[in-house]
A and B are shown apart, each in its own frame.
Chain A
Amino acid sequence: GQQVMQIPQYQHVQEGEDFTTYCNSSTTLSNIQWYKQRPGGHPVFLIQLVKSGEVKKQKRLTFQFGEAKKNSSLHITATQTTDVGTYFCEGNTPLVFGKGTRLSVIA
């Protein structure tokens, strides 16, 4: 079945450093969603990418969808302590979440 792999599993950064998490699927995705889950919280939808090669930005967050629609990335510029949490990608053919990348930001 389809698998969605995320790397790295953990990332510790100093506040102000950049952060990137990568999502790779074993099969072509129709679209991909990104979620953020704060410690003790539930996943919160961030964005959906649909088109091959698509790039979307939300303030300091940049999301990319690969040309082959098998991989995606989330890049955070100049991390802040409010960015702490686990970032998940989800491919919906079928509904499969990656294991997430846990981001820690050291002030």
Chain B
Amino acid sequence: DTGVSQDPRHKITKRGQNVTFRCDPISEHNRLYWYRQTLGQGPEFLTYFQNEAQLEKSRLLSDRFSAERPKGSFSTLEIQRTEQGDSAMYLCASSFQGAAGYTFGSGTRLTVV
């Protein structure tokens, strides 16, 4: 048990549908990160929060992607009007500000058909 929980583990959706993923970080961690990973590639940074503030968002992220962390605890990542190219593993990670490294969750695997 890594301490970072992601739900669901798998999601299959039809192209054009909206999907939402949830991440529960380690409780004492104030930073939360979202990454996307496709086969054979390293994790690609999407966005990160410190407490409830979204401090950075990748320029690669289209307007169809949005993330929230309303109370500074769990976070949601929503993808609107999904496309086949969105198929990937979506990884959440958390850390405590100033600490080295992140703790990753097991990810949500999205398949868009």
Contacts and interface: CB of A to CB of B under 8 A. Distances in A.
Contacts, number: 49
Interface of B: 2, 33, 35, 40-45, 48, 56, 59, 91, 93, 100-107
Contacts of A66: none
Given A42-B2, A42-B107, A43-B91, A95 B101 contact: no
A88 B100 CA distance: 15
Contacts of A6: 42
Interface in A80-105: 88, 90, 94-100
A52 interface: no
Given A94-B56, A95-B33, A42 B104 contact: yes
On chain A, which size bracket covers the interface?
A: 20 to 34
Nearest to A45: B101
Given A42-B91, A43-B91, A97 B44 contact: yes
Find the residue from A31, A43, A45, A94 having the highest chain B CB count within 10 A.
Answer: A43
A44 B105 CA distance: 10
